[in-house]
Amino acid sequence: MASHASAIKKNKQDLKRRLRNRSHATRLRNQIKKFRQAVDSGDAAVATGMLAETLSLVDRTAKHGVIHGNTASRTKSRLTRAVAKIRK
């Protein structure tokens, strides 16, 4: 256990960051699940409407450092391709 002031402060900061990061990651995962359900249902209009919101959330999550930038780009690419596939 931390025994000096700076270590105690660091532990408190780490705990707050961990909780914040978990909430960002959970929110992103839930949004992606909803989006994939819309894609799987085959409704292009709903999926297209959700695409912008989902891509924005992916970008924000990467900006906060919860996910890596390349992971965000890969995810955005896959989501966009999924919508393009059902639009045909």
Structure tokens at 29: 């995962």
Query: Which one-letter DSSP state was computed for residue 66?
Result: S
What are the chain's domains? 21-87 (1.20.58.110)
Is 67 in a helix, a strand, or coil? Answer: coil
Structure tokens at 23: 């909430």
- Tokens for 54? 């989902």
Q: Tens digit of pLDDT per residue, the chain (88 long)?
A: 778 999 999 999 999 999 999 999 999 999 999 999 999 999 899 999 999 999 999 999 999 999 999 999 999 999 999 999 998 7
Rounded CA gap, 28 and 16, in Å? 19
